Structure 1
Amino acid sequence: MRYSINFTPPAHDPLTLGAAQWLGRHVFSGAALDHPALRGLSIHDIAFNTALPRRAGFHGCLRPSFRLAPGTSEQELLRELMRFAGRHQPFTLPQLEVVRIASQFALAPVIPSQAMHLLAGAVVTEFERFRLPMPDDEIERADPGNLSAGQFANMLRWGDPYVMDEFRFHMMLTGPLAPADLGRFETALRSYFSPLLCDPVEVTNLALFVETEQGAPLTVHSLHPLGRVSARKTA
């Protein structure tokens, strides 16, 4: 069993539903969905090129996947996540847009979110004690030769290269694309997601994701609202 701590909008949020249809799977229920019919892309094009983010589900990663360390438990993790979320206030992300990351596409804020950066760093730090350290063979499979010095240090210290100063909040929409497909997908993605990105995205919860066995699709285990309970009741 692996866990990760992420952000995703609530299950019935229009962005969640739109992304679930694009990816072909709802991350809360695990239900398979039909891909949308879009000009310039076939259903096969979409299905093939969304396989990786479909398994991962629609989310922005804060604390990448980890196995529980000896002496910790899921119940303890849930209690600590509830306490942690209560100490951090909700906030609004800058407007999201479709962005290209290498040969992949994702949603990301038009300007970096300092609030999200600080939240992600706190998540990594606070939940480090729950993480089983990576064995040497896993570090080797991560191909450390292609990492910068800072990324390699992150992997050794925190179990993932892209945390702390290397963190960039994004929500993946495709896997790696062939160069000839980049233009088609960018046009289709901007057209499809544009109506879903008009309203601000409120970060009101943290989501605990689970991977029940290696290679299994990730699903939302539980949502943990940000902010004190008393403040939420009177808001």
Structure 2
Amino acid sequence: MTAQPNPAAPPAEAAAARPATPRYALYFAPPAQSPLWRFGSAVLGYDAEAGTPSAPLALRRFDAARWSEITAEPRRYGFHATLKAPFRLAPGRREAELTAACARFAGNRAGFACPGVTLASIGRFLALRLAAPSAALDRLAAGAVAALDEFRAPMTEAEREKRLRAPLTPRQREYLDRWGYPYVLDDFRFHMTLTGPLEDEERALAEAELAEHFAASGGDGPLIVREIALYRQETGPFRLIARFPFGS
């Protein structure tokens, strides 16, 4: 099974020469030409596959400057749904090894369909969530968490303290210490983040704005999952560097 690299991404062989310590994440990313990808990239103002700004939404309720602030946090990560949360490589591990492991992981899986996504509030931010639960997606995320954990460097104390600022259940604290991220396994909830945290009134306006654009986007059909994507972050936002199709 071979990956489909992003031709716009810097070559993996150059990774060792970069001054920054990269972070990696395994995500679900809709196909680059799909209505869902175009919608999410337009909302964030950033196309993570091309690594360039995307054509912005024609906003009615917000000016461009405020919308850029609202979407600044999710724009850092690119449009995606998390399977394996961002991590630095463990000492002695290389990007090529991680890429090969992602290819093996994807090669042992078959594609599947699950319900479409709907716009929803998650706490104080807006995201796309599944219209109904999907056991297949839950299994995919759980498998990714375990299969790639050997490549994850341990959290620093600063990283752990930052995570602990959020209210976590005892089980989520256990997951944080074991897997480096609290929202895994039984606490995994598939979502594709569209905004940062907002106060109630502004969140209602943003939800109305996004609902109109999403309804017109064509991105509300069934979600077809037949590949996973590896993202890398150096000094700027995350970039999609390779897609790994399911099956041999």
User: Quick check: 1:97–1:197 contact (8 Å CA) kept in 2?
Assistant: no
Q: Any idea what SS the aligned residue of 2:32 has?
A: coil
Question: Is the contact made by 2:118 and 2:220 (CA closer than 8 Å) also made in structure 1?
Answer: no
Aligned counterpart for 2:229 among listed residues 203, 207, 212: 207
Q: Is 1:21 aligned with 2:21?
A: no
Q: Confirm or deny: 8 A CA contact 2:109 2:247 kept in the other structure.
A: yes
Bigger mean CA offset, 34-43 vs 96-105: 34-43
Residue 144 of structure 1, CA deviation: 5.1
Q: 1:47 deviation in Å?
A: 1.3
- Deviating above 4 A after TM superposition, structure 1's stretches of 4 or more consecutive aligned residues are none
TM-score by length of 2: 0.87
Offset at residue 154 of structure 1 (A): 0.5
CA deviations on 1:114-139 (whole Å, 9 max, x unpaired) are: 11100000000111111111122321
Report the TM-score, using the length of structure 1 for normalisation: 0.92
Confirm or deny that 1:139 pairs with 2:160: yes
Name the structure 2 match of 1:81: 102
Answer yes or no: is 1:120 the counterpart of 2:136: no
Aligned to 2:64: 43
**Aligned equivalents of 1:33, 1:126: Cα separation in 2:** 33
Structural RMSD (CA)? 1.4
How many percent identity over aligned positions?
36
Q: Which of 59, 62, 66 lines up with 2:87 in the alignment?
A: 66
Q: Which amino acid aligns with 1:201?
A: L
Deviation of 1:92 after TM superposition, in Å, equals 1.2
What letter corresponds to residue 102 of structure 2 in structure 1? L
Q: Which residue of 1 aligns with 2:185?
A: 164
What is the distance in 1 between the residues matched to 2:220 and 2:173?
38
Gaps of 5+ in 2: 1-21
CA distance in 2, matches of 1:76, 1:225: 17
CA contact (8 A) 1:35 1:47 kept: no
Conservation of the 8 A alpha-carbon contact between 2:112 and 2:136: yes
Take 1:138 and 1:105, find their aligned partners in 2: how far apart are those partners? 24
Q: Could you give the per-residue CA deviations for residues 184-212 of structure 1, whole angstroms, max 9, x where no partner exists?
A: 11111111112323422211111000011
**Aligned partner of residue 198 in structure 2, secondary structure:** coil
- In the TM superposition, 1:99-114 aligns within 5 A as 99-114=120-135
Q: What is the CA distance between 1:70 and its match in structure 2?
A: 1.9
2:240 alignment partner, SS class: strand
Structure 1 residue runs of 5 or longer lacking an equivalent are 229-235
Aligned partners of 2:114 and 2:239: how far apart in 1? 23
Aligned residues, how many?
A: 226
- Residue aligning to 2:211: 190
Query: Do the aligned residues in 1 keep the contact of 2:34 with 2:219 (CA within 8 Å)?
Result: no
> Following the alignment from structure 2 to structure 1, what is the Cα–Cα distance between the partners of residues 94 and 84?
17
Map Cα deviations across residues 45-74 of structure 1 (whole Å, 9 max, x no partner). 321101111111100000001111123211
